[in-house]
Structure 1
Amino acid sequence: MAGSPDSKQDHPEDTVLHLQSYLRGGTSSLLSALPTVIVFPVYKIVFRQQIHNSPVRHAVGQLCKEGPVKLYRGVAPPLLMRTLNGTLLFGLQDTLFRQISLSSPHLLSAALLPALAGFGAGMVEAMVFTPFERVQNVLQNGQNDRQLPSMRSILARLKEQRVQHGFYRAFLPITARNALGSSLYFGLKDPVRGVVAGQGLSPLASSFISGTLTSMAISLALYPLSVLVANMQAQVGGEAKGAVACWRGLWKSRHRSVLLLYRGGSLVILRSCITWGITTAIYDRQEKPSS
């Protein structure tokens, strides 16, 4: 994705090439949607651990008790998000990278440009997809099944709320998580791929391993923010506390234990291995012919 600034030439036909990064990002994310469906029950187990602080066996027991019909309740938003997210994230990062390279070619080190562009792309991503994540978290919370049995009822209830309490609940921690995560991903992906490729592996395998290792590290580092977001967004109505107050309550509910705060973190690693490893490999494979 990210070559040196000097390799980005400002020709008229570049407009078409810029749009290709959006297409490649959407395609790679769409093709990784099947693994998203397969591992969705795993994600749902993680979500229950995040909001109820329960061990794996209790979370699995909750899902078994609810039955297979409700097992995939809430799967639509992440599927839609996967495709749109890839389109926006990869495409916008590439656009920002090119613009920064052309406008300030000597201001920053070339190694930092992908990370800076990723940071900006992550901020825009948060603005666009926070409502999707809000609906997804409400759907996955089994305590909402009676009062909010359908997506239509959830959308109607959220519309009644103020924007900061409704669709954009937990916007600040989501922005921090997405901006930092995207910055780290695009800043580390290519260097890690280069190191792996140096061990004699094929380009496809190198990209897969690079995406896997990078996403695992990011997921673990930013997992507490994901737990905070899940707890802030799981309910509709009630007292709307700020991010700091919610974090204090969350930390207290976990008995000030990092181990309890990271409950479910191992399953996040599994999900990251599958989805981002595949997405990275497909994107890099598509990018190679036009690089």
Structure 2
Amino acid sequence: MHFHGTDVRQRALTLLRDGAKNADVARQFGVPRGTISYWKHIDRAKRDECPGRTQRPPCPRCDGELNGSAYAYLLGLYLGDGHIIQNRAMRSPSLSIACAEAHPGLVDECERAMRDVFPKNSVCRVPRKGCWEVKLYSMHMWCLFPQHGPGRKHERTIALEPWQQEIVDAHPWEFIRGLIHSDGCRITNWTTRLVAGEPKRYEYPRYFFTNKSDDIRKLFTNALDKVGVEWTTLARGSDPFNISIARKASVALMDTHVGPKY
């Protein structure tokens, strides 16, 4: 899919608002006529100028009271296993979260969070190989997830808007839980030690979070610092993709507020 920059879109909208024809604007900027028509429609909808339409659908953030706890969890899921799609065949962009079918509880929680954040929208589950794709459509997706953009998340900057950071600061455990449920796990490690000359096996639980984006890992560790969880960075080869939580007190905190996927 080819993405057109914000500058091109704004210049095109300026001409359209001044009365320029869709076809002329499309030729000037080398943008498909259907894209120009869609931009014009969205712009008119935002300004309540669509024919036969008196009010646009409410935005959970701008026009209502956003459920901060559910949003913090859903934001964590999105940063890990979520993506937003918009193409000509769709009237609204869609948010999709991939949830492993091995964890039905996670699928239920993801759907519940979507419904709590977007109470006016329908949520569906689409079966995929080895997972469920939990998705919904909303015209306000860009408002709720400004991190969306062309390319993979680890190849571009991921930074929270001030209003998002306020929500994460107010609900850090929900944010951490969403990130763990997307790109994290709880495992049991083991080692052996000699006790009275005999090898003895010891087991201990540990949490891992793995993500290639430096920015997303930083958001995760910042939230851990806020709630008093100690962590270390482990490299995979030469790349520090893994965040490890192994100290007993920190694992106990994670067990209380996060727990394993189920």
| Normalised-by-shorter TM-score class | under 0.3
TM-score, length-scaled by structure 2: 0.28
Higher CA-based Rg: 2
TM-score, length-scaled by structure 1: 0.26
Q: In proportion to residue count, which structure has more strand?
A: 2
User: Relative contact order, CA 8 A, sep 6+: which one is greater?
Assistant: 1
